[in-house]
Structure 1
Amino acid sequence: MDQAADNGYRQTRKYHMRWWTLLVLSLSLVIIGLDNTILNVAIPTIQRDLNATASQLQWMVDAYILIFASMLLTMGSLGDRFGRKLTLQLGIIIFCGFSVMAAYSDSSGQLIASRALMGLGGALIMPSTLSIITDVFPREERGKAIGLWAGVAALGIGLGPAIGGWLLEQYWWGSVFLINVPITILALMLGFFLVPKSRAPHPPRIDIIGAGLSMSMLLSLVYAIIEAPSRGWTDTLVLACFGSALVLGLLFVFQELRTDNPMLNLSFFRNPRFSAGAGAITMAFFTLFGVMFLFTQYMQFVLGYTALQAGVRLTPFAFGMLIGAANSHRMVRIFGTNKVVAGGLAVVAVMLFSVYFWGIEIAYWIIGVTIVIQSFGMANTMAPSTDAVMGAVPLAKAGVGSATNDTTRMVGGALGVAIFGSVLNTLYSSNMEAATAQLQPQAAAAARDSVGAAVQIAGMAGGPQGEALAVLARQTFVDAMGVAFVIAAVVAMLTAVAVFFIMPAGHLGKQE
């Protein structure tokens, strides 16, 4: 943007209303953050009320992730072409409508279908919010705006378990979906007046083949990641899905290189700020979702907290992320993006490693301090990395850039849950083999499968033998969790080193 155009822009209503616009976009994003975590605490109640199988419970969570992640790139591209405000408001309407349907579902199949369509709404909302921020904020303010955007997203993720636990103590399980309704209606009404219209000035033709290949590739990849922990990483179906994702990915690359109007211009990845930023975001969400997944189990099954108590004790995630993200732009201004992002990942790595020394009894203040410091490090990774990705793409492609950023988040998060869970389950099951040898076959299998089941079986057995089984199961879980966290710490530290050397400290050239 040249000086004359910049001066003209600063006289527009869009510029003067930009912080109000950010408020509405952040409100729209809260429901996405909430929905990522609020359902987890309602799963036991839903299982009882709908007589859901273990597989159905898994797909109540995963159907949303699968559709959300696979549709992001395509929805971002449609926003660039037809208008980002349009896709945002359409996404809010879809998300609201199917939240109501999910709340009043009377079968597992209906709930799974509603969750999948909520994922479609989420895929329309999330890239629209970030691409509109890129459009309304000048570059010098964008880092601060994206920091606040990232902080609000994290706020929803961190508060989800606590809000869900409180709702379940007051109402029925459908309330965890109905909480979305007033937020979405408010965001829709305010957005009508406060969110400006924006789209690519000269939108190219829709890359239908590229859209189809990207959706199919991501669908296969995320499905394989979701199924791998339960089926096994060498299962035929899992390997077939990974193989399909690889083939479809190669075809997508070929299509985007040969077409005159690519949905995703692969030359973006030649910009080290784009590629290193995307890698850092993937690592941050790999860690965030993996940690939340294991910490929830640790607090309930090992420390004995209820769902609400555990949710409340996880809220420091939200506040550490909010404080870190909202102030990360100041750190970037002083030290440069690469040092801030690498430093954030290094802090995350140290905190992950410290969990290795936890036991089955631990003072909560240690957990709380660890969560705050770790989430602060994550925030100083996520917000500057997002700004780096969005600053590396042309303004006309802001929707696709935002969708790429969001896709790395979802794939990283799915991988975090899958890999953290797989490492823990493998070590836990093998180390519980001897301890469960004297149990009935069905009880032994359940105790080897889950620390929650082992503790329940121990309680039914009672006496010294039951107490010994419960202590052993908890200790085995903690030991396996420690190993999973050490592996993640090593990966986070290696990513930090790579970012430090690969990512430039500032933006490269002008953003057209």
Structure 2
Amino acid sequence: MEDRGSVRQWWMLGVLCLATLVVSLDITILNVALPTISESLHADTAELQWIVDSYSLAFAGAMLPAGLLGDRYGRKRILLAGLVVFLAASAWSALAGSMGSLIAARTLMGGGAAIVMPLTLAFVAATFADADRPKAIAVITAAIAGGLPLGPIVGGFLLEHFYWGSVFWINVPVVAVAVVAGAVLLRESVNPAAPRLDAVGAVLVVGAVVALVYGFISAPEVGWGSVRTVGLLAGSVLLLALFLWWERRVTDRLVDPGLFRNARFTWGTMAAVAVSVALFGVLFVVPQFLQAVQGNNAFGTGLRLVPLMGGLLVAGGVAGPLDRLIGTKLAVAGGLVVIAVGLVVLSRAAPDTGYGVTATGLGLAGLGVGAAMAPAMDAVTAEVGDEAGAGAAVTNTLRQVGGALAIAVLGSAMSAVYVDRLGSALTGLPESAADAARESVMAAAAVASGMGEQGAGLQAAAGSAFADAMAVVMLSCAAVVLLGAVLCLCFLPARAAGTVPGAASGRPVTA
């Protein structure tokens, strides 16, 4: 752990934040561009879904081996390689002239992102001493989580002034700066005892994760009892069982099972997954509510998500000192409770509700995310030691998988509630228009806009139905984070073993 206490390590943190910010931003920036891409490249719904899903599948699947490769062959070397892949894939995406080319580019981009995300946290664990690490974790957590609501803002602005490829071109100069600055400022960090890459284990676990995520992603479209869904989920279980069987028989394991015997790692990871479920849930439904129900354009919708990012930044700034003062257990559990309160407030939003309700709910949710995520991730990174890349990869993979599964399950529940509440408002409509309105509130708004005065009733009914469905999603997410808070209070240790509260150095000392 070199260069501690120097100014250089904070410059290094700036490079890492730049890398994670652009990767995180790219998860949501595409959402506002999908209608324009559909029109420009003549894409159908399935192809648009694959633009999003290909990134998510590669992102979730490649993180575990990427973390181990960084530990063994050098975190700087592998991180810079991941950034170069992400940069090249961004340029390819912007230049794509067909949907097949764009989907392939997005898959490659997801692979690059999967390398970047765990290794940034590994660098923090390897670079910062215990006294400074919580502050560094809070900063990089803000960059990771802050990029999600920033995506629609940047995307909306770019689409108002440039063509759809601009949402990918924006990555190129930012990542180029990160690559050059990283080459100059980052110090190589290696775990000499890291095992060789278990190729068989990597294939099995990547297959299990991809099948699981894709099964849940496609289930709302093809049905939970369909052959595809059942086959994918069963295949995922089989591959995971084979992976666990294989890992017990090899020396160089992809995942050290001892990590999960560490309570701070296990329950810190669980808390991070609960936060991700809530954050993904908010970003899945609230932008649709602001745009399709309350009539804001893409850029205006992005601006109205700013309280989420503001609350996150405020809480992230005090998360480290709060963690040292009251301990990880109370800091994380308290943050999760604040998220739950924000979600309950968001569940009260209605089509005619003023923006103040939404802003309050978003602000509280952001405060809770910042207060809970930073100490949870600090607990995780503090426990992994030299296996920083592998440990961060495990946590981030579980977060990504948890978020994807939450979106699939909550999306199905939301769709069911929305269609049920829409009910009689579709009576008398042509069958094609009624079917379109059932698909989504965005489609219902498009149908209503073409019906003149008669469309006002459909617009109002669709908005009310979506608000009811959003309430179900928000309250379900609130239940998840409240359960997480209870589990943290029961099982998450307040402090690392052998540390004294408020120790001046922040380093472990003998009690």
TM-score, normalization: structure 2? 0.95
Is the contact between residue 290 and residue 301 of structure 2 (CA under 8 Å) also seen in structure 1? yes
Do the aligned partners of residues 342 and 204 (structure 1) sit closer, same or farther apart at CA in structure 2, a change above 3 Å counting?
same
Query: Which structure 2 residues correspond to residues 461-472 of structure 1 after superposition, within 5 A?
Result: 461-463=451-453, 465-472=454-461
Task: State the shift of 1:255 in Å.
Answer: 2.1
Is the contact between residue 39 and residue 164 of structure 1 (CA under 8 Å) also seen in structure 2? yes
Alpha-carbon distance between aligned partners in 2 of 1:333 and 1:131, rounded to the nearest angstrom? 21
Does structure 1 residue 481 correspond to structure 2 residue 481?
Answer: no
2:146 is matched with 155
Query: Which structure 2 residues correspond to residues 441-456 of structure 1 after superposition, within 5 A?
Result: 441-456=431-446
Counterpart among 14, 34, 53 of residue 23 in structure 1? 14
Task: State the shift of 1:13 in Å.
Answer: 7.7
Task: State the shift of 1:415 in Å.
Answer: 2.2
Query: Which structure 2 residues correspond to residues 285-364 of structure 1 after superposition, within 5 A?
Result: 285-364=276-355
Deviations 1:169-220 (A, max 9, x none): 1110000000001111111111111100011123322212211111111111
Is the contact between residue 50 and residue 106 of structure 1 (CA under 8 Å) also seen in structure 2? yes
Query: Which structure 2 residues correspond to residues 322-471 of structure 1 after superposition, within 5 A?
Result: 322-393=313-384, 395-463=385-453, 465-471=454-460
- The farther-off stretch of 198-207 and 94-103 is 198-207
2:305 partner amino acid: L
Alpha-carbon distance between aligned partners in 2 of 1:255 and 1:392, rounded to the nearest angstrom? 25
Alpha-carbon distance between aligned partners in 2 of 1:180 and 1:14, rounded to the nearest angstrom? 31
Task: State the shift of 1:502 in Å.
Answer: 0.6
Task: State the shift of 1:143 in Å.
Answer: 1.1
Is the contact between residue 14 and residue 196 of structure 1 (CA under 8 Å) also seen in structure 2? no
Is the contact between residue 154 and residue 322 of structure 1 (CA under 8 Å) also seen in structure 2? no
Counterpart among 35, 46, 71 of residue 62 in structure 2? 71
Deviations 1:455-478 (A, max 9, x none): 222222223x42212111110110
Q: Give the % identical residues.
A: 39
Deviations 1:202-251 (A, max 9, x none): 33222122111111111111111211222222222112111111121122
SS in 1 for 2:100: helix
1:295 partner amino acid: V
Counterpart among 477, 480, 505 of residue 494 in structure 2? 505
Alpha-carbon distance between aligned partners in 2 of 1:30 and 1:81, rounded to the nearest angstrom? 25
Report the RMSD for the aligned CA atoms in angstroms.
1.7
Counterpart among 156, 160, 164 of residue 155 in structure 2? 164
Alpha-carbon distance between aligned partners in 2 of 1:40 and 1:54, rounded to the nearest angstrom? 13
Is the contact between residue 74 and residue 214 of structure 1 (CA under 8 Å) also seen in structure 2? no
Alpha-carbon distance between aligned partners in 2 of 1:254 and 1:380, rounded to the nearest angstrom? 38
2:155 partner amino acid: G
1:57 is matched with 48
Alpha-carbon distance between aligned partners in 1 of 2:409 and 2:315, rounded to the nearest angstrom? 26
SS in 2 for 1:392: helix
Is the contact between residue 51 and residue 106 of structure 2 (CA under 8 Å) also seen in structure 1? yes
Which runs of 5 or more structure 2 residues have no equivalent in the other structure?
500-506
SS in 2 for 1:258: coil
Query: Which structure 2 residues correspond to residues 27-106 of structure 1 after superposition, within 5 A?
Result: 27-106=18-97
Task: State the shift of 1:404 in Å.
Answer: 1.1
Is the contact between residue 151 and residue 324 of structure 1 (CA under 8 Å) also seen in structure 2? no
Is the contact between residue 392 and residue 508 of structure 1 (CA under 8 Å) also seen in structure 2? no
TM-score, normalization: structure 1? 0.95
2:242 is matched with 251
SS in 1 for 2:248: helix
Counterpart among 461, 477, 485 of residue 496 in structure 1? 485
Is the contact between residue 210 and residue 263 of structure 1 (CA under 8 Å) also seen in structure 2? yes
Which runs of 5 or more structure 1 residues have no equivalent in the other structure?
1-8
Is the contact between residue 345 and residue 360 of structure 2 (CA under 8 Å) also seen in structure 1? no
Task: State the shift of 1:277 in Å.
Answer: 1.1
SS in 1 for 2:493: coil
